[in-house]
Structure 1
Amino acid sequence: MSNKPSSRSRRDFLRQSMVAVPAVTLLGGSTLAQPQQATTPAAGAAYTPRYFNAAEWEFLQAAVDRLIPPNEDGPGAVEAGVPEFIDRQMEDTYGHGGYWYMQGPFAPDTPPTLGYQLRFTPRDMYRTAIAAIDDWCQKQHSKKFAALSPEERDGVLHQLEKGEIKLDQVPATAFFTQLLTNTKEGYFADPMYGGNKHMGAWKMIGFPGARADYADWIEQPGKVYPFGPVSIQGEKS
């Protein structure tokens, strides 16, 4: 819990994200609440992606870095291990669409309030959309997404969010929603899932994590929780 002045826009966005993104994702649910066999690699150990190829891995790191960049309040998405979180999810049940009904008919123009309506599993969506975005960037900027300047990457992400870029097969807004949802999940998840390294996101917002008892502090709004978070596996800040 830092005493530094807070960046209101960043903290507001991330606090709202804690409310808006439960353990089950907006598009069907990642494995945040499911038992895991793998343990988190040792701190500082290099991570080799299991699903994403080199070009996809570069895109993913460049994209999440702009969705949650680092600043004086706390770590950015890359430092927090969000790319690792997403990669691990792609090789799990969630990435294979194991929690959804994936048989047709598909209705891609159906409002998202009626549930997921695309034929792509999350891993297929990432692979298809990243290739299409890199191809679009190559045609428009003569560079792949990861090679663009931060400002240019922001521009592309805004266009994806608004559906102003037409991708082959995958609706741009659907992919942006998927990417943003998974980024926020990885940023705030327990470290055992690969993201939120050293509980940096929890420390930034004052979340106690998996501590057994913090009921005395629930009715003290605005008072800083003094003990720091604890992860499910017992890591302490």
Structure 2
Amino acid sequence: MSNDEKKLNGVQDKTRRTFIRNSGLTVGGLIVGGAVGSLFGTKTSSKTEPASAPVQEMAANPNEALMFFNQNQYQITAAAAERIFPKDEIGPGAKDLNVAIYIDHQLASPWGVNAKDYMMGPFKAPDEKQGGQLRILRKDLFLLGLKGLDEYSNKKFKKKFSELEAKEQDEVLMDFESGKAGKLSGVSTTAFFKMLRTLTIEGAYADPMYGGNKDMQGWKMRKYPGAQMGYTKEIQSDKFVEMTPHSLHDHMGH
């Protein structure tokens, strides 16, 4: 290879790395799945690799990529959500529904930083009917809660939360719900549990385009039709009409 060819290849590689970094295809500095292979193809050489070498493809659902959590935080969230929405004879639980992915995406969104909330003082004790009045950002509260779950589990059972038996995890979560587990940097564990429970239920039943409710299994358990284009015929029936559910994603481009 000539010096000019080496320089050209170096420039191309640098350009590709810049594009990957700027396009959001990395998580924590690591390239997501087979994104590079899908975007640029895979370099092959007849001298070193067979012509039939497989090219790694991107996941079928790119929504499953983490945007906020690290692996430990994701595992704690998945374990906690599963105890709130467990798998049973009726259908899948939070893990199979990708609830932790939904939560990850919500915390990575403007919602996670309270973008639409007024967060300036003065701060006064709210009435019970006034809803959430926390000074802390949602994403920060959630991370404090995950750290607290691990610390409290180690204190109570000498193990991390994700390593506990289901019954032990339930005990920890009940202590968080009641406030028995104490405070998280001045914030009650109850506030974190309420957020965790709400996000878990949302993740089980929200439209799949937001990361949860994998394969619309949450809707199928409830026989919920999802985002249909219309119900003109169905509403005229005296009997319940079961419909194949559709996601908002199904209608994109129509």
Tell whether the structures are fold-level matches, with TM greater than 0.5: yes
Q: Does residue 164 in structure 1 map to residue 180 in structure 2?
A: yes
Are residues 46 and 190 of structure 1, via their aligned partners in 2, closer, same or farther at CA, if it must alter by over 3 Å? Answer: closer
Structure 1 residues without counterparts, runs of 5 or longer: 1-40
Are residues 218 and 76 of structure 1, via their aligned partners in 2, closer, same or farther at CA, if it must alter by over 3 Å? Answer: farther
Are residues 78 and 220 of structure 1, via their aligned partners in 2, closer, same or farther at CA, if it must alter by over 3 Å? Answer: farther
Alignment of 1:1-237 (within 5 A): 42-43=59-60, 47-107=64-124, 109-169=125-185, 170-218=187-235, 223-234=239-250
Q: Partners in 1 of 2:63 and 2:109 — Cα distance? A: 20
Q: Which amino acid aligns with 1:89?
A: Q
Name the SS for the 1:234 alignment partner: helix
Name the SS for the 2:159 alignment partner: coil
Deviation at 1:115, TM superposition (A): 2.8
Q: Partners in 1 of 2:193 and 2:176 — Cα distance? A: 6
Are residues 214 and 72 of structure 1, via their aligned partners in 2, closer, same or farther at CA, if it must alter by over 3 Å? Answer: farther
Q: Which amino acid aligns with 1:188?
A: Y
Deviation at 1:67, TM superposition (A): 0.7
Deviation at 1:116, TM superposition (A): 2.0
Deviation at 1:74, TM superposition (A): 1.5
Deviation at 1:64, TM superposition (A): 0.4
Q: Which amino acid aligns with 1:151?
A: K
Does 86-95 or 124-133 show the bigger shift?
124-133
State the TM-score, normalized to the length of structure 1. 0.74
Q: Which amino acid aligns with 2:85?
A: I
Q: Which amino acid aligns with 1:130?
A: L
Deviation at 1:196, TM superposition (A): 0.5
Kept in 2, the 8 Å contact 1:199–1:231? The answer is yes
Name the SS for the 1:63 alignment partner: helix
Match of 1:21 in 2: none
Q: Partners in 2 of 1:90 and 1:194 — Cα distance? A: 12
Deviation at 1:217, TM superposition (A): 4.0
Kept in 2, the 8 Å contact 1:208–1:225? The answer is no
Q: Partners in 1 of 2:230 and 2:61 — Cα distance? A: 30
Does 70-79 or 60-69 show the bigger shift?
70-79
Q: Partners in 1 of 2:79 and 2:233 — Cα distance? A: 41
Are residues 157 and 214 of structure 1, via their aligned partners in 2, closer, same or farther at CA, if it must alter by over 3 Å? Answer: same
Q: Which amino acid aligns with 2:177?
A: E
CA-to-partner distance for each residue in 1:124-167, whole Å, 9 max, x for gaps? 01111211221111111111111110001111111211111102
Name the SS for the 2:133 alignment partner: coil
CA-to-partner distance for each residue in 1:181-207, whole Å, 9 max, x for gaps? 111111111010000011001111011
| Greater RCO (Cα-Cα under 8 Å, separation 6 or more) | 1
Deviation at 1:177, TM superposition (A): 0.6
Are residues 165 and 218 of structure 1, via their aligned partners in 2, closer, same or farther at CA, if it must alter by over 3 Å? Answer: farther
Deviation at 1:44, TM superposition (A): 6.6
Q: Pairwise CA RMSD of aligned residues? A: 2.2
CA-to-partner distance for each residue in 1:84-132, whole Å, 9 max, x for gaps? 111011111101111211112334x534421321111111011112112
Q: Between Structure 1 and Structure 2, whose CA radius of gyration is higher?
A: 2
Name the SS for the 1:94 alignment partner: helix
Structure with bigger helix share is 2
Deviation at 1:57, TM superposition (A): 1.3
How many aligned residue pairs are there?
193
